[in-house]
Amino acid sequence: MPEDSLLHHALVRLDEAATHLSIDPDVIEKLKYARETTKVRLMIRMDDGSRKSFLAWRCRYDDTRGPTKGGIRFHPDATADEVETLAFWMTFKCAVMNLPYGGGKGAVQVDPRKLSKAEVERLSRAYIQAFARILGPDRDIPAPDVYTNSMIMGWMADEYAQIVGQAEPAVITGKPIALGGSLGRGDATARGGYYLVRHLAGDLGLASTMRVAIQGFGNAGQHIARLLAADGHKIVAVSDSEGAVASPAGLHVDMLLQAKEAGRSVTSTVGQGGHELLSARDLVGVDCDLLVPAALENMVDAANAATVKAKLVLELANGPVTPEADRILADKGVIILPDILANAGGVTVSYFEWVQNRQGFYWAVEEIHDRLRAIMEREGRAIWNVSRDKGVTMRTAAYVHALGRLAEAIEAHGTQSFFTS
């Protein structure tokens, strides 16, 4: 495995966690490799009558603790390495939250912004046609991810129902409410991170009013801005794929949300309400108390980690901080609330949706929020305690916490099933 691969970076964290536990080496060996990764080429009829092909993947990394769970992203830079790494992270994320799932992930190498709505629908349905044999409520359960949403999940759930001949709402989560989606799913990733920061605020020594910089202003970035602003925190910088804006006095969050709702970049607000243009690359170095990476992987690396001024990083994106940057930030005394804990609100509420689909009984949004808060606080507190007891970072503590649960499950299956189950 190349040392510069994303999965290699992820496995560094696994090896570090293993040094803090007494675990059968076979367990670590099993967790270093994906159980299965399927690659296909989807052929789509375009609106002009031509046909175009797109690479697509689905990885079921580990199903020791239950059916694999993980989103499907549509992104032009998607790769097999990325998909397997994201599935690895999902394996640990579900174990961190003690959900009865393993980890999975899927992707299509496409820029959906360049397709019509009809073309995106045909692509979504083609994905399910290609991978239907892998999926199932008890085998592999997709959800939304980068550039996919509830509408796309609805198309996918409908296609799966047509293939199997009956409605199977629990096969996909993140669906529209009308098709069995759960209340509270839209802001679950951000809300989980918000509950975590609020719960650990005293331990972290956070001020009652923080200055916050948010890298990535998609679903998670927008919701965390709204939640933190409502608590009186000051959002001083945000970025999206087209640029960034900043204001030491605080950005107007409503103005930013309205711009995104209208399909515009956050940079369209420059010159209004004191909003100033900022280089997107410079956002991580903005003077703030809390930095929230909410975009893609490897956004904080060895080249820019030293510029980070925040004392706390909340990873709402998957893998936004490289191992090299981890070490730089640790030396600076920066605390990172790691992705496999911080952004686990999304998969937790996806679990709630799956449970509701299977029992045919749906909960009020207040119950969703209460259940999510209780789990985030329980697991956040447990990881904080591991961090303090072992003198390790929160990331290492999260991996130790998850690895203990994974090892217990793997060993419970018996040694003969290590590489065959």
Q: How far apart are CA 415 and CA 161, in angstroms?
A: 37
Cβ–Cβ contacts within 10 Å for residue 369, how many? 18
Using the structure block, give the residue that is written with the tokens 């994201």: 86
Question: Which amino acid, one-letter code, is at 202?
Answer: G
Q: List the structure tokens of 106.
A: 């899927």
- Edge-to-edge strands, sheet with 290-293: 276-278, 243-246, 234-240, 211-215, 290-293, 312-314, 335-337
How many other C-beta atoms lie within 10 A of the C-beta of residue 21? 14
Indicate the length of the chain as a whole number: 421
E-state strands within 131-170 = 140-144
Q: How far apart, in Å, are the Cα atoms of 314 and each of 78, 200, 256?
A: 24, 12, 21
Helix, strand, coil shares of the chain, percent, nearest 5, are 50, 20, 35
Look up tokens 């329980």; give the residue: 378
3-state secondary structure 330-360: HHCCCEEECHHHHCCHHHHHHHHHHHHHHHC
Please name the helix (run of DSSP H) or strand (run of DSSP E) that holds residue 168, with its range, or none. Answer: none
At 48, give phi and psi (nearest 5°): -85, 5
Residue 315 DSSP SS3: coil
And the tokens for 396? 């290492």
Ramachandran bin of 296, using left for φ above 0, alpha for ψ from -120 to 50, beta for the remaining angles: beta
Residues designated catalytic: 105
Single out the residue of 90, 88, 96 nearest to residue 35, CA to CA. Answer: 88
CA 91 to chain centre: 12
The residue whose two tokens read 């507190």 is 381
Helix (H, G, I), strand (E, B) or coil at 165: coil
Write the CB contacts of 325 (distance below 8 Å, at least 6 apart in sequence): 300, 301, 302, 304, 305
Place of tokens 């956050």: 266
